[in-house]
Structure 1
Amino acid sequence: MAGREQPLGRAVIMPGVRGRTALLLMWGLVAVAIAVVAIPPASGGGAGSPTRVAGAGVRSLSARGPRLSPPAAVPLATGWRYAPDPGNVGLRNHWESAAGTRLGWAPVTIPNDFNPTVAGASDRPAVGWYEVSFTGPPVTPGRSWSVSFESVRRNAQVWLNGTEIGSSSDPYAPFALPARTLRPGATNILVVRVDTFEGAGSLPEDWWNWGGIMGPVTLQGVGRVSAQGLGVMPELGCANRCGDLLVEATLRSHSAGALRPELLVSATSPDGVTSTSVRAAGALPAGSARQVRFRVPVRGPLALWSPASPSLYRVQVQVLDGRSVEQVDALRVGLRSVRVRGGILYLNGSRLWLHGAAIQEDVQGRGAALTDSDIETIVSELRSVGANVTRAHYLLSPRLLDALDQAGIMVWEQPPVDHADPALASAAGRARALALLRSTLVGDRSHPSVLIDSIGNELSPTPDTTPGTRAYIDQASALARALDPGVPVALDTYCYPGFPAQRSYSKLDVLGISAYFGWYTGPPGHSIADFDGLAPFLRLTH
């Protein structure tokens, strides 16, 4: 239940079927909701979330001389106002324009949830408007600005100075919109309409439908070329004594002419040993995009990330064009290896035992608008029960993932593809689910705490004879391996006995079993009413 703590569950890794797939018994994990939090990244970049670095803080690692650096980001942290729209009349009455100045705006602090109580966050849709005024930063030739949002639930429309600049319908993923109508040196008005409507194409969700701006909003400088969807992931070898960083991104040109960008990557160990690599991306025509993927060898003895020792490397990725630094991102990345061998899950070559609790971004009186103290609380609560793992039904806040990286608490992550078989029956529904999976993978793949990429929760127990679900498992497992190749792929399943073995599960590395024995009755012919049925069910499943 929202805003109410429940007993924490535990998770245990069990030997797998045919010596390949590990099984995770999730006992009491589903429906456990404890207060989830979000910590702002430490200075110089969060643990695994890319943080755009201000120009004044950039030090080029190249010996080619001084460079033109990107401008400092501008946090839009103060001065926000809010107006409810219970009749959904704001669009018709043009609240995004000067007409909105007559509204009874009330000051709010971002992050902000406009329906932070269970009664207000039922399935009844709600609409709210946010506004903030700021002085526009200068615009230099060849550069522009974007408005970056960490998270808006559920649907967002954004206007700058009365002109719509874009929208988002992913409630959990960060997004950025071009600030095309920015007025340098003058007063600018940013307006955000947020609603919690779930359209015909929405997938079902088993948690509260919070609404609002759930994370920081920032003006980010945009160069002539940007690296989008940046991921920095470890690849270890030599029995975990040597390794590389796999760097992947999409380079997108914002220039009217052809460019020849390079990526300059540095990784500094906790002991101060720095590895540097430059990769030329080749000619990039005006307005085009290209995926880049390369490896950076890591020098020196490796400092591995684990719950006992969550060592983090400081990584900086610069996008260069000639003497111009077009973009700089800073991350804290951990080196770790996660493998399934003989049905057993291993971390850095050692057998891994998991014990922890699932979480929701859900705080009493604030909904999903998580503060720094909320993050500290959830990390403290997980530690207090001896948890080394947590589980989430959607992409967690980058600030929360950073905190879990630093605390050494592992994450069983999945997209919000939950009880979604009716939607997966159509090509459009599968496309929506795959888009949510993609944004989840791109958002979490640089975080060492994420040790499992689950592709969904409690889908049909018979995917082999459920065509849409079977197709989704095939496509989703391939997508997960392509975007995050170093992490095992999983699916969380029901615990119902009596169903035949499913060939679709051969696409997976790990199965998570929601153990409801003794809790619910189960469907006819597949009873889970008796807790004593759990042990024989697990033996048969193995």
Structure 2
Amino acid sequence: MIKNFVDNIHNEAYKDYYLAPVLDAESYVFTGGRREVSLDGSWNFSVDMYDNCLRAKWFLEEETNSEGRKVPLDYGFDDWEEIPVPAVWNLVKPEYFYYEGPAVYSRRFLFDGKTEGHVFLRFGAAAYEARVFLNGEFLGLHLGGSTPFCVEVTSYLKEENRLIVVADNTRRQDQIPSENTDWFLYGGIYRGVSLFSVPDTYIKSMNVHLEGWREKQVSVSVSLGGASHYEGGEAVFSIPELQIKESISLGPGGTAELTFVAEALSLWSVESPKLYDVQLSYLKEGTVIDMVRDRIGFRTIETRGNEIILNGKPVFLRGVCLHEETEENGKAVTKEDIRNAFIKAKEMNCNFLRLAHYPHTEWVSQLADEEGLLLWEEIPVYWWIDFSNPKTLADAKNQLTELIKRDYNRASVIIWSVGNENPDTDERYHFMRELAETARELDKSRLISAACLVDAVNLKISDRLEEHLDIIGFNEYYGWYDPDYQKLITILEESKPEKPVVISEFGADGFASTSENMNKVRGSEEEQKEIYEMQVELFKKTSYIQGTVPWILFDYRTPKRLGAYQKGYNIKGLVTADRKREKPAFTVMKKFYEEVRKNEQRD
């Protein structure tokens, strides 16, 4: 026996203690209409680059040893600096800007204990691994830096509580995304944290969608959580504005699916984003046990040949890509930031946004529902990842499932994307196919896509994954990374897709020119404008292209871009990073989209 073994020094398998329970999509609870107590505000914080909170189990707050003697402490939760939650740590202090690794958050809160049923913590997102501790107990591990998660805390609550979260944004090969990305990897608890209560048996999920735009047939599915056995009861779904109230008996598993016709329903559209307040109640012997609410628009989305069909009519996706970032807030964007982005997109005559390259805050889809913008949402299966690793596939499936559960009821979301610019290997094909199948199994009311690469040898749109997709996403940078426009002309002429194609990325750098001579330098705004003009003329001639999505609306931070004019930014934006100045290419797209819009109105 090794008698001088010190666990927090010599045990390199220390993380094995924190692998379970896993907080995944199965633990997610629908919170619409529930009263949530916010835990946002000032939290104590410290970077922990050696991971000592986990190694030495600081969360136990043991101030004495086994002999009852006081021991020195290497931490001081309540004495640490305070930083805001939600926020990214990178922008709190200059010395944290490039920090990647574990960091510890701590805050105290009071709980009156007057509750029956279950109490949950909900996190909007924390990058990337998040380990949650309450009053010295490890509650679970969540993987994925952009999706929400819940954890039950009922049996761990006291009148005075300490909540600790170890957030770790270390890049790892087996994660989603992997080690190499073209955006800034912000760290921290950057979306809201809240506490909410539910009854012993509660509504865990409510999914609502329209099955037929002509018939106006509404579909509602509900599942219960809490009790291990369900003894009858019914679910009642209502749309008060339309005086609709429909009920159905719950099955033995606490699930039910309800369909009904709502003839008076007004369809949600880009031009008229009509929303209805809806309510779902769970009743037992006539008594309401639980109730949730949402604000929902009803529309259908499908494809017909090369066309994308919204509510029975063809629609061209006049889009632009958008990262979740501002210079002031990083990924912790505010509702005002989102509204400002929407205003700029609408000024460019957009009806569509591609949310790159990970799930954005749920505020985006909620506000898009109100504003009448269509959305493409995706998970960060980006470039190369460990496609042969079952753990990586499980991570990707869970992130996709959490995203779909969160945004299922959002009319604005019309496309789930399962990846971006992945090499066409056998491992990648099987990986992505499973993701597409998972998305279709969870949600048959939306379209499935992926942003694919072109066959650069045979010069045509070709990807084995196409057969599992509804829309082919085509990323291309002809005129920029490959200056030969003839290749793009050949690709568009030689490709004969049987499905709609969306040009999911195109563009070029655009830095501000200061003289006529500067305009001739690669990457000037003038060259960017010329590339956009060339691209647009080709798009006009290609009938199967049913959407265009330039890269990108705003310049944004990325450690990959270190050129003389980039200086840590991807400068392909149509608007500068401060969101104040439109580049000339913005006007090119604005005019193109205005032309497309007028043609649609004439048709």
TM-score range, shorter chain: 0.7 to 0.9
CA drift at 1:50: 5.2
Match of 2:143 among 141, 147, 169: 169
CA drift at 1:221: 0.6
Q: What is the CA–CA distance in structure 2 between the aligned matches of 1:386 and 1:227, rounded to whole Å? A: 40
Shift in alpha-carbon separation, 1:446–1:430, aligned structure 2, 3 A? same
Instruction: Give the equivalent residue in structure 1 for 2:131.
Output: 157
Q: 1:485-524 alignment to 2 at 5 Å?
A: 485-499=444-458, 501-521=462-482
Instruction: Give the equivalent residue in structure 1 for 2:248.
Output: 279
Instruction: Give the equivalent residue in structure 1 for 2:380.
Output: 416
Q: What is the CA–CA distance in structure 2 between the aligned matches of 1:231 and 1:299, rounded to whole Å? A: 17
Specify the code of the residue in structure 1 equivalent to 2:475. S
Match of 1:472 among 423, 431, 438: 431
Q: 1:430-445 alignment to 2 at 5 Å?
A: 430-445=393-408
On the 8 A contact 1:51/1:331 being kept in 2, the answer is: no
Q: What is the CA–CA distance in structure 1 between the aligned matches of 2:133 and 2:77, rounded to whole Å? A: 17
Compare CA radii of gyration and give the structure with the larger one. 2
On the 8 A contact 2:174/2:389 being kept in 1, the answer is: no
CA drift at 1:402: 0.5
Q: What is the CA–CA distance in structure 2 between the aligned matches of 1:323 and 1:137, rounded to whole Å? A: 30
Match of 1:259 among 223, 231, 246: 231
Shift in alpha-carbon separation, 1:319–1:211, aligned structure 2, 3 A? farther
Look up the SS of the partner of 2:274 in the other structure. coil
CA drift at 1:200: 4.2
Structure 1 residues 125-171: Cα deviation after superposition (integer angstroms, max 9, x where no partner): 22222222222133444x12111111111111111112122221121
Q: 1:103-122 alignment to 2 at 5 Å?
A: 104-116=79-91, 120=96, 122=98
Structure 1 residues 99-122: Cα deviation after superposition (integer angstroms, max 9, x where no partner): 654553223332111113898555
On the 8 A contact 1:274/1:299 being kept in 2, the answer is: no
Q: What is the CA–CA distance in structure 2 between the aligned matches of 1:487 and 1:265, rounded to whole Å? A: 22
Q: What is the CA–CA distance in structure 2 between the aligned matches of 1:474 and 1:94, rounded to whole Å? A: 41
Look up the SS of the partner of 1:480 in the other structure. helix
Look up the SS of the partner of 1:336 in the other structure. coil
Of 246-255 and 345-354, more deviation after overlay is shown by 246-255
On the 8 A contact 1:425/1:467 being kept in 2, the answer is: no
Instruction: Give the equivalent residue in structure 2 for 1:332.
Output: 295
CA drift at 1:382: 1.7
Look up the SS of the partner of 2:195 in the other structure. strand
Specify the code of the residue in structure 2 equivalent to 1:360. H
Structure 1 residues 483-536: Cα deviation after superposition (integer angstroms, max 9, x where no partner): 111112112111343347445412221101012111113xxxxxxx31232222
Query: If each structure's helix is expressed as a fraction of its own residues, which one has the higher value?
Result: 2
Of 348-357 and 473-482, more deviation after overlay is shown by 473-482
Look up the SS of the partner of 2:185 in the other structure. coil
Shift in alpha-carbon separation, 1:81–1:245, aligned structure 2, 3 A? farther
On the 8 A contact 2:218/2:262 being kept in 1, the answer is: no
Match of 2:203 among 213, 227, 241: 227
Specify the code of the residue in structure 1 equivalent to 2:184. W
Specify the code of the residue in structure 2 equivalent to 1:191. I
Look up the SS of the partner of 2:252 in the other structure. coil
Q: Which runs of 5+ in 2 are unaligned?
A: 1-28, 62-72, 497-603
Q: Which has the higher contact order (CA 8 A, sep 6+)?
A: 1
Q: Could you state the TM-score of these two structures normalised by the residue count of structure 1?
A: 0.76
On the 8 A contact 2:270/2:351 being kept in 1, the answer is: yes
Look up the SS of the partner of 1:423 in the other structure. coil
Instruction: Give the equivalent residue in structure 1 for 2:112.
Output: 137
Specify the code of the residue in structure 2 equivalent to 1:235. E
Specify the code of the residue in structure 2 equivalent to 1:510. I
Shift in alpha-carbon separation, 1:307–1:102, aligned structure 2, 3 A? closer
Q: CA RMSD in A?
A: 2.6
Q: What is the CA–CA distance in structure 1 between the aligned matches of 2:428 and 2:223, rounded to whole Å? A: 30
Q: 1:46-445 alignment to 2 at 5 Å?
A: 51-54=31-34, 72-98=35-61, 101=76, 104-116=79-91, 120=96, 122=98, 125-141=100-116, 143-183=117-157, 186-203=159-176, 204=178, 205-236=181-212, 240-254=213-227, 258-268=230-240, 272-284=241-253, 292-322=255-285, 325-392=288-355, 393-420=357-384, 422-445=385-408
Shift in alpha-carbon separation, 1:326–1:121, aligned structure 2, 3 A? farther
- Between the aligned residues of both structures, percent identity stands at 24
Specify the code of the residue in structure 2 equivalent to 1:146. F
Q: What is the CA–CA distance in structure 1 between the aligned matches of 2:393 and 2:339, rounded to whole Å? A: 37
- For this pair of structures, how many residues does the alignment match? 449
Shift in alpha-carbon separation, 1:254–1:108, aligned structure 2, 3 A? farther
Specify the code of the residue in structure 2 equivalent to 1:480. A
Structure 1 moving runs of 4+ over 6 Å:
none
Query: If each structure's strand is expressed as a fraction of its own residues, which one has the higher value?
Result: 1
Shift in alpha-carbon separation, 1:114–1:196, aligned structure 2, 3 A? same
